[in-house]
């Protein structure tokens, strides 16, 4: 009976998980699929280059968050600051997302997007670091995995389907329909964040002498950087994460562009993404259970291998069309491979992120979780640079998109090798 109770989530754990349910709607509707379509339509009406503006806006937001993450993380580790910074980031993100439903100038839309992106990313940094406050190291894999699973249901499936119904009913070219989707996104994000705001509290913290908060912040930041450099286990894991998460993020970001090579329209890409989200729900939960039985590092190695397979499928998908241009049979076969790739990504996308987050949480001192997660966030953000550059460079050098996609396998190979050859070091700590 006691064992059964131990497996049940506590009120605090449930409240923490709910923020994944709350914020994932932003990641799907604003970052990945629907808002980019809307922004592109507004730019087209104004004669602006939406791809260039969107790229610059995303890069600016990502760069600012990456630079600020360690400083804000160090500040948040001090008593009473983590919740305040989390709430501030949340409200900034929601407010500027909502503002985009009431403006029609592409410059104001871009500004709203950049500021909302910063708020979203900042809230996720503090949210991730709360993992050490809401549960024990033994339960982190399970709690983190359920967070991602609920995120795929709550943010990436239910409101996503509602949004698709709104757009299909009112028309994909109807600007009012997109504005309603933006309002839906903002309300969903804010309302389902309430349990986290009410029940999740900072348990682990460091004390700062009165009047020396900022001095303590930068002092602790420098100390954390030195500690990471000295701690071989943490340093190697962050390096492995840097490479394989770059591959993960690049596959997410280029999938629609690559799919367009197969003549998929907006509806086809939306449905492919929906398949990925649905598949990700049970597999995210499964990853948590497997990590408890097999160990986090073994599970991560398995996920990296599947992503390596995804790169191979992506290569053959493009190679098939390049070898048989204009062939309907080749197109149909490649479409089948595209859906296979979408399914495979769904099996590991949530799991690899969830277990990476929870395993890192086990490696670090809980009272300095924000500082460490700040550096973790830096590696994740700056990792988003190499993958797209690899794809672009190999595509330009060879003139073949399939070669550009297969180049991503290098990232998974490097990340996987670091995990494999350092597995004894990692598994000792997990035990």
Q: For residue 249, what are the domain limits?
A: 7-204+213-430
79 versus 179: the higher-pLDDT residue is: 179
Q: How confident is the model at residue 180, as a pLDDT?
A: 96
Most confident of 27-31, 49-53, 222-226, 387-391: 27-31
**For the packed helices 232-260 and 266-294, what is the interaxial angle rounded to 10 degrees?**
160
CA 277-283-285 angle, 5° bins: 110
Dist CA 25 CA 19 (whole Å)? 11
CATH of the domain at 363: 1.20.1250.20
Q: How confident is the model at residue 210, as a pLDDT?
A: 52
Percent of the chain scored above 70 by pLDDT? 86
Cβ 141 vs Cβ 294: under 8 Å: no
Q: How confident is the model at residue 362, as a pLDDT?
A: 86
**For the packed helices 409-421 and 232-260, what is the interaxial angle rounded to 10 degrees?**
160
Q: Please give the average per-residue pLDDT across 117-140, as a whole number.
A: 88
Q: How confident is the model at residue 235, as a pLDDT?
A: 86
Q: How many CB atoms lie within 10 A of CB 168?
A: 12
| C-alpha distance across the termini of the chain, in Å | 25
Dist CA 62 CA 47 (whole Å)? 26
**Residue 86 CA: distances (Å) to CA of 16, 42, 72, 77, 192:** 12, 32, 10, 12, 14
Q: How many CA atoms lie within 13 A of 125 on its CB side?
A: 38
Indicate whether 67 belongs to any domain. yes
Dist CA 114 CA 133 (whole Å)? 30
Q: Please give the average per-residue pLDDT across 91-96, as a whole number.
A: 97
Dist CA 148 CA 128 (whole Å)? 11
Q: How many CB atoms lie within 10 A of CB 310?
A: 27
What tens digit of pLDDT does each residue of 131-151 get? 888 998 888 888 988 988 898
Q: Please give the average per-residue pLDDT across 50-57, as a whole number.
A: 72
Q: Could you give the residue ranges of the DSSP H alpha helices within 231-295? A: 232-260, 266-294
Q: Output the average pLDDT for the chain.
A: 83
Indicate whether 177 belongs to any domain. yes
Q: How confident is the model at residue 228, as a pLDDT?
A: 76
Indicate whether 2 belongs to any domain. no
Indicate whether 78 belongs to any domain. yes
Q: Please give the average per-residue pLDDT across 332-339, as a whole number.
A: 82
Query: Is the pLDDT confidence value at 105 over 90?
Result: yes
Q: How many CB atoms lie within 10 A of CB 81?
A: 20
With tokens 């190499």, the residue in question is: 386
Dist CA 124 CA 98 (whole Å)? 18
Indicate whether 306 belongs to any domain. yes
Burial class (CB in 10 A: 0-12, 13-18, 19+), 27: middle
Q: Please give the average per-residue pLDDT across 158-163, as a whole number.
A: 90
Would you place residue 31 in the very low, low, confident or very high pLDDT band (cuts 50, 70, 90)?
A: confident
Would you place residue 46 in the very low, low, confident or very high pLDDT band (cuts 50, 70, 90)?
A: confident
For 138, the 3-state DSSP assignment is helix
Most confident of 173-187, 199-213, 243-257, 264-278: 173-187
Q: How confident is the model at residue 225, as a pLDDT?
A: 75
Strands (E), 273-389: none
Q: How confident is the model at residue 259, as a pLDDT?
A: 63
341 versus 88: the higher-pLDDT residue is: 88
429 versus 287: the higher-pLDDT residue is: 287
For 265, the 3-state DSSP assignment is coil
Q: Which helix (H) or strand (E) holds 406?
A: helix 401-406
Count up the domains in the chain and report the number. Answer: 1
With tokens 């908060």, the residue in question is: 213
Dist CA 335 CA 330 (whole Å)? 9
Burial class (CB in 10 A: 0-12, 13-18, 19+), 185: buried
Cβ 23 vs Cβ 190: under 8 Å: no
Q: How confident is the model at residue 429, as a pLDDT?
A: 47
Q: What token pair was written down for 83?
A: 């919740």
Query: Is the pLDDT confidence value at 185 over 90?
Result: yes
Indicate whether 399 belongs to any domain. yes
Cβ 353 vs Cβ 27: under 8 Å: no
Indicate whether 1 belongs to any domain. no
Q: Could you give the residue ranges of the DSSP H alpha helices within 80-174? A: 82-99, 106-129, 131-134, 140-154, 158-170
Q: How confident is the model at residue 323, as a pLDDT?
A: 83
Would you place residue 86 in the very low, low, confident or very high pLDDT band (cuts 50, 70, 90)?
A: very high
Indicate whether 183 belongs to any domain. yes
Closest listed residue to residue 13, CA positions, set 124, 136, 125: 136
Cβ 136 vs Cβ 128: under 8 Å: no
Would you place residue 18 in the very low, low, confident or very high pLDDT band (cuts 50, 70, 90)?
A: very high
Q: How confident is the model at residue 198, as a pLDDT?
A: 95
Q: Please give the average per-residue pLDDT across 235-240, as a whole number.
A: 89
pTM, full prediction: 0.75
222 versus 208: the higher-pLDDT residue is: 222
Would you place residue 177 in the very low, low, confident or very high pLDDT band (cuts 50, 70, 90)?
A: very high
């Amino acid at each position: 009976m006691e064992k059964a109770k131990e497996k049940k989530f506590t009120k605090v754990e449930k409240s923490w998980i709910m923020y994944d349910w709350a914020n994932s709607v932003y990641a799907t509707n604003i970052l990945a699929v629907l808002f980019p379509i809307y922004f592109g339509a507004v730019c087209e009406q104004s004669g602006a280059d939406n791809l260039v503006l969107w790229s610059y806006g995303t890069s600016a937001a990502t760069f600012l968050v990456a630079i600020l993450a360690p400083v804000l993380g160090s500040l948040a580790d001090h008593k009473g600051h983590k919740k305040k910074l989390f709430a501030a980031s949340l409200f900034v993100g929601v407010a500027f997302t909502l503002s985009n439903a009431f403006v029609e100038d592409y410059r104001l839309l871009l500004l709203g997007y950049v500021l909302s992106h910063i708020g979203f990313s900042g809230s996720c940094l503090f949210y991730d670091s709360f993992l050490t406050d809401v549960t024990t190291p033994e339960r982190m894999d399970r709690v983190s995995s359920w967070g991602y699973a609920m995120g795929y249901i709550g943010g990436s499936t239910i409101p996503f389907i509602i949004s698709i119904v709104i757009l299909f009913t009112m028309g994909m070219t109807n600007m009012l329909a997109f504005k309603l989707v933006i309002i839906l996104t903002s309300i969903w994000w804010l309302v389902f964040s309430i349990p986290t705001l009410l029940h999740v509290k900072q348990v682990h913290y460091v004390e700062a002498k009165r009047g020396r908060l900022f001095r303590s912040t930068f002092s602790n930041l420098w100390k954390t950087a030195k500690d990471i450099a000295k701690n071989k286990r943490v340093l190697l894991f962050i390096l492995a994460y840097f490479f394989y998460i770059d591959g993960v993020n690049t596959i997410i970001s280029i999938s629609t562009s690559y799919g367009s090579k197969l003549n998929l329209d907006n509806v086809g890409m939306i449905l492919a993404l929906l398949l990925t989200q649905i598949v990700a729900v049970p597999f995210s939960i499964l990853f948590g259970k497997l990590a408890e039985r097999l160990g986090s590092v073994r599970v991560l190695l398995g996920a990296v291998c599947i992503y390596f397979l995804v790169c191979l499928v992506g290569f053959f998908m493009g190679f098939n069309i390049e070898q048989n241009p204009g062939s309907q049979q080749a197109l149909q076969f490649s479409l089948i491979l595209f859906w296979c790739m979408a399914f495979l990504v769904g099996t590991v996308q949530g799991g690899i992120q969830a277990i990476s987050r929870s395993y890192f949480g086990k490696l670090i001192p809980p009272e300095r979780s924000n500082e460490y997660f700040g550096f973790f966030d830096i590696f994740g953000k700056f990792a988003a640079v190499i993958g797209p550059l690899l794809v672009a460079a190999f595509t330009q050098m060879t003139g073949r998109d399939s070669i550009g996609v297969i180049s991503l396998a290098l990232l998974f190979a490097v990340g996987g090798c670091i995990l494999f050859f350092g597995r004894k070091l990692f598994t000792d700590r997990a035990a």
